[in-house]
Amino acid sequence: MIIGYGIHGMGLEAISLFQNMLVVDQKPDDVTFIGLLSGCGHAGLVGEGMQGLEDAYKLIQEMPLESDSLGPEGTRNFVLLSNIYSTDGRWDDTAVMQKSLGFKKIPGSSWIEVDGVIHAFLGGDQSHPESAKINAKLLQLRAEMKKLGDSAEANFVYQDVEEEEKEHILLYHSEKLAVAVGLLNMHGRSLTSVTKNLRVCGD
């Protein structure tokens, strides 16, 4: 359940369920903490995410054997912590942690199949032969969305850049590029499907 809440950015619900686990003396495991951190990170709950890390550390210290609680998912845990720091504007903490641990985030990529051809994108990708049309479509969609009152969710950009640059980054996320290709190639279709290697951005 905590993972489900985390995937959907429902940080408060993830925290509540985590606290209930502790009340009934049910020991959380590494998956529990990943879900908790994910929920906190996507909901911008920095303090709560830090408390979750402290709880994980205490649990690891209490284990009788040498712990591998961070296990193969260890890098993902640190990426979640990095995202929590970034959401809180703690850019120095983010940079120090990433440099000292020597890890890099897996870039988000999305793809769509149109008429038997796979069109794949990374964020900000301009390598597609139809990039000019794709960009124009995204700008058109963005203008229409703004008229309807939508605004870019800048807190989903985990980089220390100006607000205008954050909006630009969000506009060219990989899944949006793939959606634009789908829309440009509907040809009477009413349904299209985009696949992504990571969680879709909340924006």
Question: Locate tokens 């509907």: which residue?
Answer: 186
For residue 112, the cross-strand partners are 119, 194
Nearest to 5 by CA among 176, 199, 175: 199
Spatial separation of the C-alpha atoms in residues 94 and 111, rounded to whole Å: 29
Query: Is 202 contained in some domain?
Result: no
Residue 25, domain member (yes or no): yes
Could you identify the residue written with the tokens 């299209």? 192
Residue 197 has pLDDT above 60, yes or no: yes
Number of domains in the chain: 2
Asked whether residue 203 is assigned to any structural domain, the reply reads no
Last residue of a domain, one of 76, 101, 126: 101
- Is residue 105 over pLDDT 70? no
Average pLDDT over residues 103-131: 85
Q: What kind and span of H or E run contains 118?
A: strand 117-122
- Residue 77, in any domain of the structure: yes
User: To the nearest 10°, the Cα dihedral for 5, 6, 8, 11?
Assistant: 80
Q: Is there a single domain that holds both residue 95 and residue 165?
A: no
Residue 155 has pLDDT above 70, yes or no: no
What is the C-alpha separation between 22 and 10, in angstroms, rounded? Answer: 19
Classify residue 108 by its DSSP letter. P
Of 101, 118, 144, which closes a domain? 101
Q: What is the pLDDT of residues 176-190, one digit of tens each?
A: 889 999 999 887 776
Same domain flag for 48 and 91? yes
On whether both 187 and 164 belong to a single domain, the answer is: yes
Q: For residue 29, what are the contacts with CB-CB under 8 A and spacing of at least 6?
A: 69
Are 97 and 138 within one domain? Answer: no
The token duo for 108 is 């988000």
Tell me whether residue 33 is in a domain. Answer: yes
Of 68, 101, 134, the residue at which a domain comes to its end is 101
- Could you tell me if 96 and 181 lie in one domain? no
Give the range of the structural domain holding residue 59, as residue numbers without chain letter.
Answer: 2-101
Q: Is the pLDDT of residue 129 over 90?
A: yes
pLDDT higher than threshold 60 for residue 157: no
